[in-house]
Amino acid sequence: MADLTRIAQIMAEAVNGPGRPALPERLCGACVEALAMDAAAITLMADTGHRAGVWASDENARRLEERQFALGEGPGVDAFRLRRPVLVPDLFAPEEERWPVLATTLGAQGAEARGLRRVHAFPLHLGASCIGVLSLHRAAPGMPELSEIADIQVAATTVTLALVGSFVAAPDSATARPWLDDTPLNGVEVDQAVGMIMVQLGVRAGEALDRLRAHAFARDEEIDEIARQVVRRELRFTEEDR
């Protein structure tokens, strides 16, 4: 087990740090340092079809989180949906069959994705509610020890409290930052695109999101870019897309 005092100190420094980088990004870096991980990512969600933002310690981790949302499957999606940790010893193992489409997509990315082989996805709980997921990665495959799981849970709880606390902090507080208004990946355009596809195809929200995800997957593009094209009216879904 890591030194809990050290974990607490590193996380506290991230919470009380300067406005840039944004709080969630600082927390990702703190998790990497405190827990001896290779990468970390925080995804905030209202549900598996509505994402508020994604922050990560590096670009590969960010892309993995974005790809899970685009496909609607993966350890982070399951951790949020099931409200429990999802531990993956090796995302690229032949016997790992829980997320076949994600595995195929990551396999096509080659070596850059293999630095994220081991995945620990922990839901960010606040009482009965869940505001998102903390995903931690290591290049070397394997399962965490029980003591390591306890350390990760401490970090996940700290992340949850820090993010929620920043929402309600006094305006003159050092932790009150408008970071949610300046997210690197914002789900607003996805929601807008889903609404437009609902009208274009005459379908419900869930099916409209599935169509958007399928279109992004078929083109091997980020779902945010496809959503942006829909919102700008550069792309219109027709009956042939149903």
Do 85 and 205 have their domain in common?
no
Residues 71 and 151 in one domain: yes
Specify the pLDDT at position 37. 95
Which position has the token pair 């897309």? 241
pLDDT digits (tens, 9 = 90+) for 211-225: 877 787 777 777 778
Q: What is the pLDDT of residue 220?
A: 74
**pLDDT given at position 216:** 78
Average pLDDT over residues 113-124: 87
Question: For residue 71, what pLDDT band results from cuts at 50, 70 and 90?
Answer: confident
Distance CA 101, CA 164 (A): 33
Domain count, the chain: 2
Q: What is the pTM of this model?
A: 0.76
Burial class, 170, CB count within 10 angstroms (exposed 0-12 / middle 13-18 / buried 19+): exposed
- Of 181, 196, 226, which residue is a domain's last? 181
Same domain for 136 and 77: yes
- Model confidence over 135-183: pLDDT tens digits? 999 999 999 999 999 999 999 999 999 988 877 654 555 544 555 555 5
Q: Are residues 235 and 124 in the same domain?
A: no
Q: Are residues 36 and 128 in the same domain?
A: yes
User: Which residue would you say has higher pLDDT here, 92 or 89?
Assistant: 89
Q: 87 pLDDT band (50/70/90 cuts)?
A: very high
The verdict on 32 and 142 lying in the same domain is yes
Question: Residues 146, 37: one domain?
Answer: yes
pLDDT tens by residue, 18-70:
767 788 999 999 999 999 999 999 998 866 556 667 899 998 898 888 888 87
User: For residue 128, is pLDDT > 90?
Assistant: no
Parallel, antiparallel or unpaired: strands 118-126 and 129-138: antiparallel
The verdict on 226 and 169 lying in the same domain is no
Same domain, 166 and 77: yes
Query: pLDDT band at 110, cuts 50/70/90?
Result: low
Last residue of a domain, one of 155, 181, 207: 181
**Given pLDDT bands bounded at 50, 70 and 90, which one contains residue 111?**
very low
SS (H, E, C) the chain: CCCHHHHHHHHHHHHCCCCCCCHHHHHHHHHHHHHCCCEEEEEEEEECCEEEEEEECCHHHHHHHHHHHHHCCCHHHHHHHHCCCEEECCCCCCCCCCCHHHHHHHHHHHHHHHHHCEEEEEEEEECCEEEEEEEEEECCCCCCCHHHHHHHHHHHHHHHHHHHHHHHCCCCCCCCCCHHHHCCCCCHHHHHHHHHHHHHHCCCHHHHHHHHHHHHHHHCCCHHHHHHHHHCCCCCCCHHHC
Query: Quick check: 94 pLDDT over 80?
Result: yes
What pLDDT is recorded for position 51?
Answer: 62
Residues 173, 195, single domain; the answer is no
Domain that holds residue 81: 4-181
CATH number at residue 232: 1.10.10
The pLDDT value given to residue 17: 78
Are residues 224 and 199 part of one domain? yes
Percent of the chain scored above 70 by pLDDT? 82
Q: Could you tell me which residue, 85 or 198, shows the higher pLDDT?
A: 85
Q: Does 18 lie in the same domain as 117? A: yes
CATH number at residue 160: 3.30.450.40
Of 133, 152, 181, which marks where a domain is finished? 181
Cα-flanking dihedrals φ and ψ of residue 123, to 5°? -70, 145
When pLDDT is averaged across residues 110-139 and rounded to a whole number, the result is 85
Q: How far, in Å, CA of 90 to CA of 200, rounded?
A: 41
